[in-house]
């Protein structure tokens, strides 16, 4: 109700403003906001349902794309409906890099998959979005798990491990070695939990600011490592870090 009555809604994704407008305008756009509304409507059967206007396209006899009103030929409905994973046919496993591999039915096998809670406060075990990275370095959703209880205990454990990796921040205390290979940073670092070796895509999107002088590093498994203050590093380690991560 609050969102419906709002004059303007701002939609952010990973810190970027991607949509804005009233509730009705955003539903008409059939974008990120409309998709989240569709999912949230399933949380309560008492909630009034919003319908996203389907995008209809049609091709006439000349092969020209025309509007719904101008065409009497067969229409193709393009939908932004989420891809819900069927727990009976979806296969989950771990890959060689301690990541998650997912195959839905007879579909392709996705590797390096990470899990995101769409409603972490109200539905921590429900509506789990599984995503992977495309060639441009953007995360791409491959499907959604309605609820963890629908999965076997083994599969639940795999998904929970993936969630724990995403929502756990490991504190960095120093760097032993950083080298660039094939567009990736091979990093040997020290954390409060001991030494670790991680692989980081050498891309600005994988390093985020943390406070005034800190950074958060996101490795290829979507694990997160926080460096609270660059200035607290030893001189050699700080220079090593800033030689490769200078933005």
Name the residue among 114, 80, 89 with its Cα closest to residue 218. 114
169-244: which CATH topology? OB fold (Dihydrolipoamide Acetyltransferase, E2P) (2.40.50)
- For the segment 89-99, what is each residue's pLDDT rounded down to a tens digit? 999 998 766 67
Q: By percentage, how much of the chain surpasses pLDDT 90? A: 42
- Strands across the sheet with 65-66, in order? 65-66, 55-59, 75-78
More confident residue, 166 or 111: 111
Contact (CB, 8 A) for 171 and 226: yes
CA-CA distance, 193 to 184, in Å (whole number)? 24
Confidence of residue 1 (pLDDT cuts 50, 70, 90): low
Domain boundaries, given as residue ranges, for the chain: 2-78, 90-167, 169-244
Contact (CB, 8 A) for 216 and 207: yes
Q: What is the DSSP string of 155-196?
A: HHHHHHHHHHHHH-EEEEEEEEEEEEETTEEEEEEEETTEEE
Contact (CB, 8 A) for 231 and 238: yes
pLDDT at 96: 63
Sign of CA dihedral 70, 74, 76, 77: positive
- Strands across the sheet with 184-191, in order? 194-201, 184-191, 169-181, 224-227, 214-218, 207-210
Range in 46-55, 85-94, 158-167 the model is least confident about: 46-55
Q: For residue 203, give the DSSP letter.
A: S
**26-40, 42-56, 168-182, range with greatest mean pLDDT:** 168-182
Contact (CB, 8 A) for 46 and 61: no
- Is the confidence at residue 68, as pLDDT, over 80? no
- Scanning the structure block, which residue is given the tokens 């370095």? 137
Evaluate if pTM is beyond 0.95: no
Q: What is the DSSP string of 37-51?
A: HHHHHTT-TTSPPP-
Tell how far CA 168 is from the center of its chain: 16
Strand 126-133 with 55-59, pairing: unpaired
pLDDT at 80: 64
Q: Is 234 helix (H, G, I), strand (E, B) or coil?
A: coil
Please, which residues bridge with residue 116 across strands?
Answer: 129
């Amino acid at each position: 109700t609050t969102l419906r009555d709002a004059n303007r809604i701002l939609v952010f994704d990973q810190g970027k403003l991607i949509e804005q407008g009233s509730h009705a305008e955003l539903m008409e756009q059939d974008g990120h906001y409309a998709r989240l509304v569709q999912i949230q409507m399933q949380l309560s059967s008492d909630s009034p349902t919003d319908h996203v206007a389907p995008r209809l396209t049609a091709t006439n006899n000349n092969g020209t794309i025309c509007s719904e009103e101008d065409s009497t030929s067969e229409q193709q409905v393009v939908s932004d409906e989420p891809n819900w994973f069927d727990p009976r046919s979806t296969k989950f496993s771990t890959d060689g890099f301690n990541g998650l591999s997912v195959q839905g039915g007879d579909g392709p096998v996705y590797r390096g998959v990470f899990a995101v809670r769409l409603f972490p406060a109200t539905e921590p075990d429900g509506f789990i979005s599984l995503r992977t990275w495309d060639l441009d370095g953007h995360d791409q959703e491959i499907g959604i798990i309605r609820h963890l209880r629908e999965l076997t205990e083994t599969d639940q454990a795999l998904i929970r491990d993936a969630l724990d990796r995403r929502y756990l921040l490991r504190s960095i205390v120093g760097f032993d070695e950083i080298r660039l290979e094939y567009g990736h940073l091979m990093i040997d670092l020290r954390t409060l939990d001991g030494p670790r070796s991680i692989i980081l895509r050498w891309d600005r999107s994988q390093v985020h600011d943390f406070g005034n002088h800190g950074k958060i590093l996101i490795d290829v498994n979507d694990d997160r490592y926080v460096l609270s203050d660059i200035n607290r590093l030893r001189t050699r380690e700080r220079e090593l870090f800033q030689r490769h991560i200078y933005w």
